[in-house]
Amino acid sequence: MTTQSYIEQRTERTRWFLHDRFGMFIHWGLYAIPARGEWVRNAERISNEDYQAYFDGFNPDRYDPKSWAKAAKAAGMKYAVLTAKHHDGFCLFDSALTEYKSTRTKAGRDLVREFLDAFRAEGLKVGLYYSLLDWHHPDYPAYGDRIHPMRDNEAYKREPGGFDRYLDYMHGQVRELLTNYGKLDIMWFDFSYGELRGEAWRASELMETIRAVQPHLIVDNRLDASGEEGGSIYSDNPTPYAGDFASPEQIIPPRGVTDQAGRSIPWEACITLNNNWGYSAADQVYKSAKTVIRKLVECVSKNGNLLLNVGPDAKGEIPQPSLDVLEEVGRWMRRNGDSIYGCGPADLPKPEWGRYTQSGGKLYAHLFEESIGPVNLAGLAGRIKQARLLADGSEVFVTRPWNAALYEQDAFFNFARPEHFTYPLPDER
Ligand code: FHN
């Protein structure tokens, strides 16, 4: 496939993705029981038999994916990605290739199938996260107690037959997800490191399977990348497994994402609400709704998406602090979503008081900082025929040089009009 045809197909596949802009990431699995984050098995060197206790005790009797879907929809999210298998190898779906799965726990449920049904019913697009790493599979180099993959990945060279057995398993499970669960919209692989990238995963073969079974599916870039470094999607000669979007993690790229030829690349920043992907009982420091809104606006202003993470607990519930933030974000999105959906960068330099997003002939000014004295939009006066506040449709004056800002109103800012400037901005949490 030529680079041009790859880019044309990527553009077509990601059209909905670039419109929808805002999704929910869900990290859930056995690690919700220890409740110390999804790397707990590795970080604490938990043995197979000790970790087995979590498998034996897993019974999320309050799992109600319909309520998850309603919370995501109410927050203004348009798609959601659930971990079908994370690094610990536990499968939230009924795989025929292993017994290490949710249908063999006390839950006795195909958690992935219920997630997909519930989110589709709410009209959201659906994606599955699938870990390339697998600390449980006996043929994965970081198997057993040698479970820190970063140091042990040399092992697979010594057991070439073994690692191929793991790859057959991994490819087989991806095929199960592609064929047994209906139309998927996103496959979110995670992650490549050291020499385990690209063809070490037999990635071209995997992509051929994906393109054959679900050709519309969009795939992230981590078959040859991680959250820190980007892989061939950035090159001017992308591989067949470059993926359809870049996936910066816990960071918003300073200037968006382009490839070596300067072409814009679809990208999605994945960000946690607190400081953990998987449920952490001790981590009660959550980002405010205002921070989430600003990060979402920043992503869109740079032609990117925001995938905001929640980590449900061992009972199957999204933590209340996460729900509280999502509810507040949803109130803003209901009044201001026009400045997010279908929007992208404006052809204007970033103003000092905030950010612009644009959709066709509509410019949206997001006033984050109330400057000392009137916000000056004089530079736009010639470009703007009329200005309205998104929240209530009321007129905003932008023609007088000392005039105030045009931006979507929300509960956090007092809109600035010459006749009633208010200082200071409401408390910044
Ligand atoms: O190791 C994983 C981590 O647990 C989490 O799933 C993130 C989400 O993007 N990805 C990897 C770290 O980059």
User: In angstroms, rounded to a whole number, what is the distance separating the alpha carbons of residues 269 and 273?
Assistant: 13
Q: How large is the average pLDDT for residues 207-224? A: 98
Is residue 414 scored above 60 in pLDDT? no
Q: What is the pLDDT of residues 356-392, one digit of tens each?
A: 888 887 888 887 765 555 555 555 656 666 667 777 7
Q: 276: CA distance to ligand 1 center in Å?
A: 10
Is residue 152 scored above 80 in pLDDT? no
332's CB contacts (< 8 A; 6+ apart) are 76, 289, 293, 410, 411
CA dist 154 → 104, 247, 267, 378 (Å): 32, 26, 31, 61
pLDDT value of position 413: 30
Is residue 149 scored above 90 in pLDDT? no
130 or 413, higher pLDDT: 130
Q: H helices then E strands: how many in the chain?
A: 12, 9
Percentage of the chain with pLDDT > 70? 83
284 or 159, higher pLDDT: 284
Percentage of the chain with pLDDT > 90? 66
pLDDT value of position 377: 59
* CB of 83 closer than 8 Å to CB of 29: yes
Is residue 145 scored above 60 in pLDDT? no
Q: 218: CA distance to ligand 1 center in Å?
A: 19
pLDDT value of position 352: 78
Q: What is the pLDDT of residues 328-348, one digit of tens each?
A: 999 999 988 999 999 999 888
Q: 236: CA distance to ligand 1 center in Å?
A: 26
Q: 107: CA distance to ligand 1 center in Å?
A: 25
What's the pTM value of the predicted model, to 2 decimals?
0.91
Query: Residue written as tokens 């519309």?
Result: 216
pLDDT value of position 370: 56
Of 149, 174, 125, 132, whose CA–CA distance to 305 is shortest? 125
Would the CB of 277 count as within 6 Å of ligand 1?
A: yes
Would the CB of 193 count as within 6 Å of ligand 1?
A: no
pLDDT value of position 410: 30
Shortest-distance Cα residue to atom 2 of ligand 1: 190
pLDDT value of position 72: 98
